[in-house]
Amino acid sequence: MNTPNADEQVHASARRSARQFKSWALIIVLAVIISFLIRTFVFEAFIVDGKSMEPNFHTNEKVIVNKLVYKLHDPRPGEVIVLHVPSRHSDFIKRVIAVGGDEVRVQGETVTVNGQPIAEPYIAQAIAAAKQQHTVYNINDFPSNEVPDGKVPEGYVFVMGDNRSHSQDSRMVGYIPLSDVIGRADLIFWPLANAQRIVPNEAT
């Protein structure tokens, strides 16, 4: 029986190492491609910066943004979205209050859409706390000097921050075109103590 000599064993080992290297390289390349595709078309992480969405979202919280959902349907009232504002060279996180064709009015704590006051359970406790302290929860009404027309154009949404007196939103920057909507915030995943699914609250 022939026994492989040392040179043959070395060459066989080198071939196995080369095959293993190619296999691992392929796995890494595929993982990078899949990660890029997911980040580009499906999900992306977003870091909350600022207090405009308090008391529901806080600075440095990290959320998962679903970028696919609005390929299936347009944003709906009550959903929390991440959007790009070219005039501010920044991405914002805000809540959808009204959509194309709706007539919007904001007077103090009361928001009306098409003439009907909407329920906003996501800020009810904050409004109650402000009243107990004899302060006003919202000082920025709408229509405004910046946006005098209260009717949302088709293909746009009207958004506001939950922290109404401390939010730069559609009352100042105008209606948001659907093309500038990045996706829907679906999950707070960091810090772990705050981790929770973001359930859309219908603002109706």
Q: Which two tokens stand for residue 148?
A: 């005098």
- Taking the CA atoms of residue 159, residue 163, residue 168 and residue 171 in that order, the dihedral angle to the nearest 10 degrees is 50
Q: Tell how strand 80-85 and strand 176-177 pair up.
A: unpaired
Contact 141, 107 (CB under 8 A): yes
Long-range CB contacts (< 8 A, 24+ apart) of 20-23?
A: none
52 in active site: yes
**CA distance linking residue 101 with residue 154, whole number of Å:** 6
**Catalytic residue chosen out of the listed positions 67, 94, 167, 170:** 94
Contact 201, 195 (CB under 8 A): no
**Catalytic residue chosen out of the listed positions 22, 23, 52, 179:** 52
51 in active site: no
Paired with 105 in beta bridges are: 112
Q: How distant is the alpha carbon of residue 65 from its chain centre?
A: 5
Which sequence positions are flagged as catalytic? 52, 94
